[in-house]
């Protein structure tokens, strides 16, 4: 049985990892304040505080460290580059150094924001990176720091993450859809909406397959892998799918009108990649893992919400 430490256990992916990783060993959770979402105590690990992080790593003495913690306030990062860099970059070097010294595997999540979004075909893992802002630069620097540490690692680049809980686009659309008759949503940014539960389950499967592989085969089961749902859509199409299905399930009284707008009509502090589709062929080739189409994810997550509110 392995000891598995989840950093950021109250986040969207971290919360789903708590269940997904149970079959693999003893799961230890860590959050920024030392308390889980249900009020239960856990380890305290604030990645903004090097001493707090080090204490959690020493207390857990884990064989596998899954880092689901991140600074994700994309717009705020433009005005707060230091906190973003501390959490997304420098903390990864510290995690990697501890893991290398103790023979632990590090699993980490990165983002489509390492690319500039000017591509015209799905991005592969070895495509040139060119982040547009502070958030993307900090996440890319974290990838580099983890690799440079020499620790065994898996880095999953994912995008457009959402869940039945937490702060995300789907939950925002459900709230606004219940309040308004008309919504304007950006239609010229394209990506693959990916449920946090799918990310967690795929992570668990990848860890299990890597750990059961012969040592000489693990090199091909290491490094950077894209991990997103199949297919792609715009935020406008994602919103329309959410609201249409939500109305059909009775989660909102009726679907509001959804109107497409351009990114220029919805200015934000940080620039977003216009094209965030990621090629997951390497994940399928190495681990035999492939996620379903994004529309299936919408149905899954809304079904979860409907079941919990029924």
CA 126 vs CA 17, 36, 287: distances in Å: 27, 37, 18
Helix (H, G, I), strand (E, B) or coil at 181: coil
Question: Please, what's the largest Cα pairwise distance for the chain?
Answer: 58
- Please, are residues 159 and 279 in contact by the beta-carbon 8 Å criterion? no
Return the closest-CA partner of residue 101 out of 162, 149, 46, 168: 149
Catalytic annotation, residues: 135
Interatomic CA distance for residues 305 and 310, integer angstroms: 8
**Residue-wise burial string across 16-46, b where 16 or more C-beta atoms lie within 10 A, e elsewhere:** bbbebbeebbebbbbbbeeebeeeeebbbbb
Return the closest-CA partner of residue 224 out of 81, 83, 111: 111
CA 195 vs CA 95, 131, 186, 228, 245: distances in Å: 26, 23, 20, 9, 16
Residue 25 is encoded by which pair of tokens?
């060993």
């Amino acid at each position: 049985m392995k000891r598995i430490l989840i950093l950021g256990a109250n986040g969207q992916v971290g919360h789903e990892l708590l269940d997904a990783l149970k079959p693999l060993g003893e799961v230890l959770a860590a959050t920024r304040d030392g308390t889980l979402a249900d009020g239960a105590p856990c380890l305290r690990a604030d990645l903004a505080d090097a001493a707090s992080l080090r204490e959690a790593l020493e207390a857990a003495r884990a064989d596998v460290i899954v880092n689901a913690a991140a600074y994700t306030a994309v717009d705020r990062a433009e005005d707060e580059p230091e906190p973003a860099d501390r959490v997304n970059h420098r903390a990864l070097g510290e995690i990697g150094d501890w893991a290398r010294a103790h023979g632990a595997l590090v699993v980490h999540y990165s983002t489509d924001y390492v690319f500039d979004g000017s591509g015209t075909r799905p991005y592969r893992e070895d495509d040139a990176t060119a982040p547009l802002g502070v958030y993307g630069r900090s996440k890319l620097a974290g990838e580099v720091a983890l690799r440079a540490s020499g620790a065994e690692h898996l880095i999953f680049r994912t995008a457009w993450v959402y869940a039945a809980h937490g702060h995300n686009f789907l939950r925002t659309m459900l709230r606004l859809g219940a309040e308004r008759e008309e919504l304007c949503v950006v239609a010229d940014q394209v990506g693959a909406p990916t449920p946090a539960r799918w990310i967690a389950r795929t992570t668990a499967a990848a860890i299990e397959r890597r750990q059961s592989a012969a040592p000489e085969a693990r090199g091909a089961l290491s490094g950077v892998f894209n991990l997103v749902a199949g297919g792609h859509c715009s935020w406008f199409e994602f919103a329309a799918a959410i609201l249409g299905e939500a109305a059909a399930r009775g989660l909102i009284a009726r679907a509001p009108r959804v109107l497409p707008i351009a990114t220029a009509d919805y200015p934000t502090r940080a620039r977003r990649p216009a094209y965030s589709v990621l090629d997951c062929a390497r994940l399928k080739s190495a681990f035999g893992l492939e996620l379903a189409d994004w529309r299936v994810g919408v149905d899954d997550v809304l079904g979860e919400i409907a079941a919990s509110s029924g």
